Chain A
Amino acid sequence: MIKQIEGSQAVAEAVALCRPEVICAYPISPQTHIVEGLGALVKSGELVPCEFLNVESEFAAMSVAIGSSAAGARTYTATASQGLLFMVEAVYNASGLGLPIVMTVANRAIGAPINIWNDHSDSMSQRDCGWIQLFAESNQEALDLHIQAFKLAEEMSMPVMVCMDGFILTHAYEQVDMPEQAQVDAFLPPYEPRQVLDPADPVSIGAMVGPEAFMEVRYLAHAKQTMALDRIPEIADEFKEVFGRDAGGLVRGYRIDDAETIVVALGSVVGTLEETIDTLRAEGVKIGVLSIRCFRPFPMAAVRAALARTARVVVLEKSFSVGLGGIVSTDVRLAMVRIHVRGYTVVAGLGGRPITQDSLLRVLRLAVADELKNLTFLDLDWDIVNRHLAREAASRHTGPLPEALLRDIGASAPRNR
């Protein structure tokens, strides 16, 4: 059914169609509307039987999810930013125990300074946690990925994080095609746990493992993620058969076949990039975009195949590793071993800084001319940076950094003096 609804509401309805049995809710922007939507569906009786728990923290949210998943219930939660960081210990535990929890991460920056707006720092901080990480380009894809995520998670006995850009997707009203319950039921079989807490067949889950087997346990987690690389495109195909739509998979190229320059990106910025690429194509620039839809497991072979014949790769990413540079770039570079291309990293959109077509055109033209620096921060205000560095060089007592910057640019920061 075609609907014009908010991204969060679309995800809530899609999750409800998956018949989750336990949902843990803890509020954090910009994820909150999703669990609010699900709470309403449970309360109204549209989604029953389902236990909706208002927990006291994200750490509890993931811990309740661990308990319910281990007891054989299909389990869902959602978080973002500081919330994801607050539950990290349990996030690792869920994957270590092999529990197929599905969690939405409404991508948001991480403080300090506190910032509620979108970037990918939260999900990227968890790239090594053993969860599958899928990134949505649009609200339709976010909705579709959740339906695929339950199937993938439960088949692989591995938790799945569906990452969607906070505000840009979660709060955007877009047209979506909401599947019918019968379609979802045909696509997603009931949850059949590989391990379950059951008095009829008691097992101990979470035993201590020492050096004699820990390496093997970790390797098996890697092996299973590698297996998921095969299963993810198959599930996308099965999804297309039932729902008639392309969604998910490992990577998706746009105008890359003859491209001499390929921009690699994740999430909603891919849409902006496609329009930018159309503009450049009209000018005769052979350029395309590669969207990484599955970031963990990292689709090494698919990325390599897509980029093998190009001359230049620009990785545009909404996060970075302080003291190093690009995170996605590092992985892309690993996929390109012994292939000679010129590689650039553009860090963009941190803390919700808008990524405009004008800025993208400017930076991509520099890249095509090979005049771009290896690591570029899109639309960075060098004046502010340099003035602050000068202040720090001149005075010991420069005070809290954000306040100093905001006072400098004359924004609405209160003047304490």
Chain B
Amino acid sequence: MTQPIKFYQTGTFTVGNRLLPEDKRTVQSSIARDNSLNSGHRACQGCGEALGARYAVDAAMRATEGQLIAANATGCLEVFSTPYPETSWQLPWIHSLFGNAAAVGSGIAAALKVKAAKAGLPEAVTRVIAQGGDGGTTDIGFGCLSGMFERNDDVLYICYDNEGYMNTGVQRSSATPPAARTATTQPLGPEPGAEFGKGKNVPLIAVAHEIPYVATATVADLHDLEAKVEKAMSLRGARYLHVFVPCPLGWGAASCDTIRLARLARETGLFPVFEAEDGEITAVTKIRRPVPVDEYLRLQKRYAHLFGAKGHPETIARIQAMADKNIKRFGLLDVEGAA
């Protein structure tokens, strides 16, 4: 049974799955979902990564009709899902090292390709995803990731980006944004938190590899994330999905704010959501109502030093400038609403 959607409900975030026609509902709303990352794991309350992985892997399972193998980097996702002798994974899954998930994925894909050839099949039926956090992707696993990209190995790599090394106790990664407090970028001195002008944009680096598909997504938009996984799995070759996943523990945010923070990251322009194919950006998710960055920053204790009596309004202005640059660069606003 579906209910008709009223005009005022469209384009808002209140449209639940039950209001949508069945074919438009998410994988997660289906009782036939795989629960690939099953309940009972040890992720924190409100963990964005657990949520993102659950959406992404179930969507990939549906797209491949369950013919899927996952390689996992060391990190929160690995630790909270597989404390010996338990596992939350309902699909064949391997954890090798922190920095090699992409290469392990390449190896699995190579094995599957040979097995398919031996069975007289034109291509492998079973598909491969590799996944890791931002540390395992943008830093220690970057060489293997780039190698997997340039060889165009048939792997979807999913990076769950919570902007730091949360598993080891919240240290700075190359995905940590400027001004953010981490254990290795303390809110001390004249320019507290992570430095401006450092860090790297791995989605754009992935685009520069001219691989078949690159996309960013957040855990605030379930439909979008699942659709991108589905799109990725419809293609062969190296594919990259960068999912923005807030970390209540590392960011000093309320567990109930995970989705809100992910949404604000997109609506401020700090996290541009886009798709690219073969080196060209093909789609961006527009910002309907731009939000000033301080609405996003205020919810997180990692930016607490920017507010309060002393405060750092000039730092907030620099972060706003970053957001504005993204909005311009990716065309995130329609012309009439341009800031």
A residues contacting B by CB (< 8 A) are 21-22, 24, 48-51, 53-57, 59-60, 63-73, 75, 89-90, 93, 97, 197-199, 201-210, 212-213
B110 adjacent to A51 (CB under 8 Å)? yes
B87 adjacent to A50 (CB under 8 Å)? no
With a cutoff of 8 Å between Cβ atoms, the chain A residues found around residue B79 in the complex are: 208
Distance of A106 from chain B, by nearest CB (Å):
22
Taking CB atoms and an 8 Å cut-off, the chain B residues in 64-117 that contact chain A are 66-69, 71-72, 78-79, 82-87, 89-97, 99-100, 103-115, 117
Q: Which residue of B lies closest to A217 (CB)?
A: B84
A56 adjacent to B144 (CB under 8 Å)? yes
With a cutoff of 8 Å between Cβ atoms, the chain B residues found around residue A208 in the complex are: 78-79, 82-84
Given contacts A64-B103, A90-B97, contact A213 B110 (CB under 8 A): no
Q: 8 nearest interchain CB pairs? A: A67-B107, A63-B103, A63-B100, A56-B147, A73-B111, A206-B95, A71-B111, A49-B117
With a cutoff of 8 Å between Cβ atoms, the chain A residues found around residue B150 in the complex are: 56
With a cutoff of 8 Å between Cβ atoms, the chain A residues found around residue B91 in the complex are: 199, 202
B residues contacting A by CB (< 8 A) are 66-69, 71-72, 78-79, 82-87, 89-97, 99-100, 103-115, 117-118, 126, 143-144, 146-147, 150-151, 153
Q: Which residue of A lies closest to B87 (CB)?
A: A204
Among A66, A71, A201, residue most surrounded by chain B Cβ atoms (within 10 Å): A71
- Report Cα–Cα, A273/B146, bound state, in Å: 48
With a cutoff of 8 Å between Cβ atoms, the chain A residues found around residue B109 in the complex are: 67
A206 adjacent to B96 (CB under 8 Å)? yes
Report the tally of A-B residue pairs with Cβ distances under 8 A.
Answer: 167
8 Å CB contact of B107 from A22, A54, A57, A212: A22
A199 adjacent to B111 (CB under 8 Å)? no
Q: Which residue of A lies closest to B89 (CB)?
A: A204
8 Å CB contact of A203 from B68, B92, B112, B143: B92
A55 adjacent to B103 (CB under 8 Å)? yes
8 Å CB contact of A54 from B103, B105, B146, B151: B151
With a cutoff of 8 Å between Cβ atoms, the chain A residues found around residue B100 in the complex are: 59-60, 63, 66, 90
B84 adjacent to A67 (CB under 8 Å)? no
With a cutoff of 8 Å between Cβ atoms, the chain A residues found around residue B106 in the complex are: 53, 55, 60, 63-64, 67
Given contacts A199-B69, A210-B84, contact A60 B103 (CB under 8 A): yes
Q: Which residue of B lies closest to A213 (CB)?
A: B84
- Report Cα–Cα, A223/B164, bound state, in Å: 40
Q: List 12 A-B contacts (CB under 8 A).
A: A21-B115, A53-B106, A55-B151, A56-B143, A57-B143, A63-B97, A67-B110, A70-B94, A71-B107, A73-B115, A203-B93, A207-B85
- Report Cα–Cα, A205/B69, bound state, in Å: 11
Q: Which residue of A lies closest to B94 (CB)?
A: A205
A97 adjacent to B96 (CB under 8 Å)? yes
Q: Which residue of B lies closest to A197 (CB)?
A: B92
Distance of B218 from chain A, by nearest CB (Å):
28
- Report Cα–Cα, A97/B69, bound state, in Å: 17
B96 adjacent to A51 (CB under 8 Å)? no
Q: Which residue of B lies closest to A92 (CB)?
A: B97
Given contacts A207-B87, A209-B84, contact A68 B96 (CB under 8 A): no
Distance of B89 from chain A, by nearest CB (Å):
5
Given contacts A63-B104, A199-B126, contact A68 B110 (CB under 8 A): yes
Q: Which residue of A lies closest to B118 (CB)?
A: A49
With a cutoff of 8 Å between Cβ atoms, the chain A residues found around residue B113 in the complex are: 49, 51
Distance of B32 from chain A, by nearest CB (Å):
16
- Report Cα–Cα, A64/B106, bound state, in Å: 6
With a cutoff of 8 Å between Cβ atoms, the chain A residues found around residue B144 in the complex are: 56-57, 59-60, 63
With a cutoff of 8 Å between Cβ atoms, the chain B residues found around residue A206 in the complex are: 72, 78, 82, 94-96
Q: Which residue of B lies closest to A57 (CB)?
A: B143
B92 adjacent to A67 (CB under 8 Å)? no
Given contacts A206-B95, A208-B84, contact A53 B151 (CB under 8 A): yes
- Report Cα–Cα, A106/B111, bound state, in Å: 25
Distance of B122 from chain A, by nearest CB (Å):
12
